[in-house]
């Protein structure tokens, strides 16, 4: 998807049409176009300290670390959640 297509999709999701309303300033437009997606914003974030430290322990693979971590959090993360989080 191109940058232009991305902005068009954001404008459609925000129900914006051209020409923009006169009272819509840059701050309001920014909020409408770049509001956080609730399915990402509402997810708990991993403990980044543990993410950094634990895989360095002897015998801990990323796969094992992932399995242990998923069992320790509620609601459970999926691997795709890790790729979306900052």
Q: What span, in angstroms and rounded, lies between the C-alpha atoms of 14 and 34?
A: 9
Structure tokens that stand for 54 in this block: 């634990």
* Three-state SS annotation for 21-85: CCCCCHHHHHHHHCCCCHHHHCCCCCCHHHHHHHHHCCCCCHHHHHHHHHHHCCCCCCHHHHHHC
Structure tokens that stand for 19 in this block: 């020409």
Its pTM stands at 0.40
pLDDT band at 48 (very low <50, low <70, confident <90, very high): confident
Q: Are 33 and 73 in contact (CB under 8 A)?
A: no
Domain boundaries, the chain: 3-35, 41-84
Please write the tens of the pLDDT for every residue from 12-46.
888 888 898 899 999 999 888 887 665 555 666 77
Question: Average pLDDT in the 61-67 region?
Answer: 80
């Amino acid at each position: 998807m191109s940058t232009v297509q991305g902005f068009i999709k954001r404008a459609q999701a925000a129900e914006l049409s051209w020409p923009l309303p006169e009272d819509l300033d840059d701050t309001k437009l920014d909020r409408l176009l770049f509001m956080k997606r609730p399915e990402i914003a509402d997810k708990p974030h991993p403990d980044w300290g543990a993410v950094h430290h634990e895989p360095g322990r002897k015998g801990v693979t990323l796969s094992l670390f992932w399995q242990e971590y998923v069992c320790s959090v509620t609601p459970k993360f999926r691997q795709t959640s890790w790729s979306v989080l900052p």
